[in-house]
Structure 1
Amino acid sequence: MAAQRCDLGTPLPLPRVLLASSFTLQNPSCAVDIESAPTSLKKQNTPNTTLPKINRRYSPSSALGGGNDGGPDSVPRHHGKSQSHVAFENTSTSIAASQMRNHLNKLSDTVSDEQEKKLFETEMDNFFGLFRRYLNDKAKGSTLDWDRIAPPAEGQVVDYNDLANSESVSFLNKLAVLKLNGGLGTSMGCVGPKSVIEVRDGMSFLDLSVRQIEYLNRTYKVNVPFVLMNSFNTDSDTENIIKKYEGHSIDIMTFNQSRYPRVLKDSLLPVPKSFDSSITDWYPPGHGDVFESLYNSGILDKLIARGVEIVFLSNVDNLGAVVDLRILQHMVETKSEYIMELTDKTKADVKGGTIIDYDGSVRLLEIAQVPKEHVNEFKSIKKFKYFNTNNIWLNLEAVKRVVMNNELEMEIIPNNKSIPADKKGESDVSIVQLETAVGAAIRHFKNAHGVNVPRRRFLPVKTCSDLLLVKSDLYSLKHGQLQIDPTRFGPAPLIKLGTDFKKVSDFQKHIPSIPKILELDHLTITGAVNLGRGVTFKGTVIIVATEGSTIDIPPGSILENVVVQGSLRLLEH
């Protein structure tokens, strides 16, 4: 039955809620720091079906539906507000929701192509569900009850070493590999998708992933599909780039994650005025969107139709996230619908999300959810030993079930940003992006648990400091996979490069030849520092070029447990 539309007319006003000069070598004295109301109508059995817009006969009184209903899996709330305060915020929430629904309807009316309009309406319905939950959470002042949070109970985390070691390859026919490919390389000073940054031996993240899957398919005579979830920021470039793999023995599939409208922080209205509004008016809503997007794109049903039961998902920049036959076998044999790979927390990982027991159910706890007075406890390695690597194993039939039944209510991460003003003299526009994380979905799946994996399965490249590590002699490359030198003792070294090394171009200028770091523990470099060829670092090395000065480390230098300060220029003659 066709959905009806009711125009509420003029929106109600939203209530305002009130070493030439010196070259010193010193022994360092210390180490370096460093079931609720649905938000959309239930999905049909086929993807790409138009979802009628939610509640076209929308009124402020209906806006509060779709919050947490206090069911057995709901998060307890603390309400430290008076009844009058709560009533006022409920009214504000109702009006904000109805105004947002009307503006989303108007946005849909600007889409001319019917097929495009169907997908857009589906996305806006999903966005509105997210927005309404956000308003409800704000009105209730919801927080987790810290006293009910405990470290994972027995069985909620399994040690990798306790998994069966037969590594049966028969399960590979049930597997697909999915990489999250929505990010740009801007944080490292690069243009285009981050996945095309060269990381090792002239190969990019994407090249390495393709080599891994190709080797897997060739070795075991299987056909594991390689799936990329792009964003509107990376889709066009990625589609052009993957053409070079057409001659390879690999089946590549792509789909786009949702495109949601940014929200004005003061009025809580969408920033874009039309479907074709500037790209800066929209945002990709985090990797928690993978479930809805995988379903809406039709890729989910395509994979299921070809016999795929499990998808291994990871960030494209995690070079340690390779297919593991032991984890795959464990998932099949335990009939788990969701497995999260965890690894031991170190002092460098204290802000990472961790797995917890919450009244007997397994949850993901992020630092943003922790009350201020408990942040130090959250960071404790003794109480919370693991952190989430974002290597996730998912059962596809289970994914289809939770999406079709609207079961997903992942915790919302409000991301506050600003958009530069159009004209000089005007202030920037404050906006909020509502995002979700794939790890937060763990509580919606049956027999979900964590596997504590070796650190080698977590090798992300987020900065040029990480880039130095993966390019070094500490690792060798085999079939697209980085393998640590067997003679290396202990964990990988801690590397911190200053702002002079933030962009890849600057990194390459200052460090044209990667130093040897097999015996390095800590490295800190700040200021204008240039490394010559054949440099070796051992132990703890700190190099600090003072402001206005430059330090050139001579070719062939061996620095072990030293601090280099001041200025040192090497002049060619």
Structure 2
Amino acid sequence: MAAAATLSQADAEKLSSLKSAVSGLNQISEDEKNGFINLAARYLSGEAQHVDWSKIHTPTDEVVVPYDTLAPPSQDSEQTKQLLDKLVVLKLNGGLGTTMGCTGPKSVIEVRNGLTFLDLIVIQIENLNKKYGCNVPLLLMNSFNTHDDTSKIIEKYSSANVEIHTFNQSQYPRLVVDDFSPCPSKGRTGKDGWFPPGHGDVFPALKNSGKLDVLLSQGKEYVFVANSDNLGAIVDLKILNHLIHNKNEYCMEVTPKTLADVKGGTLISYEGRVQLLEIAQVPDEHVNEFKSIEKFKIFNTNNLWVNLKAIKRLVEADALKMEIIPNPKEVEGTKVLQLETAAGAAIRFFDKAIGINVPRSRFLPVKATSDLLLVQSDLYTLEDGFVIRNKARRNPANPTIELGPEFKKVANFLSRYKSIPSIIELDSLKVSGDVWSGAGVTLKGKVNVTAKPGVTLEIPDGAVLENKDINGPEDI
């Protein structure tokens, strides 16, 4: 814990009393206590978070490899089986569906044809295992928020041709800002006294759970880590083949930035290593430059491929000192702090780490009902658990969709659409107010639908709206 050496007298005292308070929390393991104190010590020491802007360089094609330069995978199914038998798929499953008005893990929201994120993930891996006779297991990293529900939900896959393992990411106490003490030691022992410390925790949690050693003993070499709500994050043989062939310990999939992604982290070359640059690390005077899509053309999809032996080596050496993301919250009027880390920031600690600049189709996250509208529409079809874009759409970019607060919850969104409109030729859609849509509606070009306060707007069955601004029934 070298970071503690640079603490001021006051901060050293803070840390000391935090240590004794945390040692008395019997809800968490020794590993979790140590991990948390380590993070707090680094936070108090104010480890340099800022980058020297003059040292930032655009990575070369050796560092961020263009996807279309990767060698095609072997057509020999036995070789493919050998490749896949080295792989584990890990989905980050710690998030709840609360922002979309759902209870329980976000991964059980129905995405398409009555199938949830988790259903699609299991179907995809099951098809791979059947097709090649391989054994690609699925790991779900839950949080204490999603663990119980997920354990019940996965019972329905007991006869699937996929080994499913679950483990929990760490549970850390929230810190009361006033005196830097853990919430649970002040009587907040319920769930709101704790937090899961971001997906950067995937590496120590995998090790501490014992799963890492089990996987290594089975001859597994790489883990493909992705958010459970990214429908584009499917196993890619070209990427796996490239990493094994070139002995890359870490690979981050990046994809070209659009104006919707300007806040996403990007890869840079910095002091001879590849590094993730997040908006929080950017000095204020350079934020606009960071957001420009001229200088920083790519962003992190959070699809990561990591060598398992390298994870073990680095976790055991306590070498993964990812940037700390302080996340302030308020719990019933008390200001609290969560200290989090991001898995992408670990890239600089691995040997031969690279990015691969992948097609946009590998990044299809569903963060809101506007994304759900996209993936439930005729813009996509479902084949073998894969969500595939309709070739009839000529524009390579997806339409931009903004739905008002009336559509925020999944149940409200579904009730307001009798059926999802056809959007093959849509460029942008904005809907606000009390708007209801009939069946068989087609949207083309730019469509804005605004119901004035107190007015209900109903779009009739079979309506075709092309380049229209609709503010009342007379405009339809």
Name the TM tier (shorter chain): over 0.9
Amino acid at match of 1:94: A
- SS in structure 1 opposite 2:125? helix
- SS in structure 1 opposite 2:24? helix
Deviations 1:168-219, CA, capped at 9 Å, x for gaps: 5131010010000000000000000001000100000000000000000001
Q: Who wins on radius of gyration, i.e. which is larger?
A: 1
CA contact (8 A) 1:525 1:544 kept: yes
CA contact (8 A) 2:378 2:422 kept: yes
Give the Cα–Cα distance (whole angstroms) in 2 for the partners of residues 569 and 505 of structure 1: 28
CA contact (8 A) 1:314 1:390 kept: yes
Deviation at 1:126?
Answer: 0.4
Deviations 1:370-426, CA, capped at 9 Å, x for gaps: 111111000111111100000000100000000001101000000010001xxxxxx
Deviations 1:451-507, CA, capped at 9 Å, x for gaps: 000000000000000000000001000110000011211211111111110000110
Amino acid at match of 2:84: L
For the pair 1:223 / 2:135, whether they are aligned, the reply is yes
Deviation at 1:106?
Answer: 2.2
Match of 1:106 among 24, 36, 54: 24
Q: Which residue of 2 aligns with 1:554?
A: 460
Give the Cα–Cα distance (whole angstroms) in 1 for the partners of residues 94 and 335 of structure 2: 23
Deviation at 1:275?
Answer: 10
Q: Which residue of 2 aligns with 1:337?
A: 249
CA contact (8 A) 2:49 2:323 kept: no
- SS in structure 2 opposite 1:285? coil
Q: Which residue of 1 aligns with 2:431?
A: 525
Q: Which residue of 2 aligns with 1:429?
A: 334
Amino acid at match of 1:563: D
CA contact (8 A) 1:354 1:387 kept: yes
Gap runs ≥5 in structure 1: 1-36, 40-63, 68-88, 112-118, 421-427
For the pair 1:131 / 2:54, whether they are aligned, the reply is no
Give the Cα–Cα distance (whole angstroms) in 1 for the partners of residues 49 and 108 of structure 2: 41
CA contact (8 A) 1:414 1:433 kept: yes
For the pair 1:189 / 2:107, whether they are aligned, the reply is no
After TM superposition, which residue ranges in structure 1, 4 or more long, deviate above 6 angstroms? none
- Once the two structures are superposed, the pairs formed by residues 162-173 of structure 1 within 5 Å of their partners are 162-167=69-74, 169=80, 170-173=82-85
Deviation at 1:99?
Answer: 1.3
Give the Cα–Cα distance (whole angstroms) in 2 for the partners of residues 306 and 399 of structure 1: 16
- SS in structure 2 opposite 1:530? strand
CA contact (8 A) 1:551 1:569 kept: no
Give the Cα–Cα distance (whole angstroms) in 2 for the partners of residues 539 and 276 of structure 1: 52
CA contact (8 A) 1:510 1:530 kept: yes
Deviation at 1:91?
Answer: 2.2
Deviations 1:73-93, CA, capped at 9 Å, x for gaps: xxxxxxxxxxxxxxxx82221
- SS in structure 1 opposite 2:185? coil
CA contact (8 A) 2:49 2:281 kept: no
TM-score, length of structure 2 as denominator length? 0.96
- SS in structure 2 opposite 1:518? coil
Q: Which residue of 1 aligns with 2:346?
A: 441
- Once the two structures are superposed, the pairs formed by residues 286-365 of structure 1 within 5 Å of their partners are 286-365=198-277
Deviation at 1:445?
Answer: 0.2
Q: Which residue of 2 aligns with 1:545?
A: 451
Deviation at 1:567?
Answer: 4.9
* Aligned residues between the structures: 470
Deviations 1:117-151, CA, capped at 9 Å, x for gaps: xx6111010000001100111xx675221111222
Deviations 1:247-274, CA, capped at 9 Å, x for gaps: 1111000100000000011111111028
My pick for the range that moved more, 518-527 or 276-285, is 276-285
- SS in structure 2 opposite 1:357? strand
Deviation at 1:566?
Answer: 3.0
Q: Which residue of 2 aligns with 1:47?
A: none
CA contact (8 A) 1:550 1:568 kept: no
- Once the two structures are superposed, the pairs formed by residues 502-521 of structure 1 within 5 Å of their partners are 502-521=408-427
Amino acid at match of 2:199: H
- Once the two structures are superposed, the pairs formed by residues 165-314 of structure 1 within 5 Å of their partners are 165-167=72-74, 169=80, 170-273=82-185, 277-314=189-226
TM-score, length of structure 1 as denominator length? 0.80
Deviation at 1:551?
Answer: 1.0
Give the Cα–Cα distance (whole angstroms) in 2 for the partners of residues 563 and 134 of structure 1: 51
Give the Cα–Cα distance (whole angstroms) in 1 for the partners of residues 24 and 226 of structure 2: 36
For the pair 1:488 / 2:400, whether they are aligned, the reply is no
Q: Please give the root-mean-square deviation of Cα atoms over the aligned residues, in Å.
A: 1.6
For the pair 1:382 / 2:300, whether they are aligned, the reply is no
Q: Which residue of 2 aligns with 1:22?
A: none
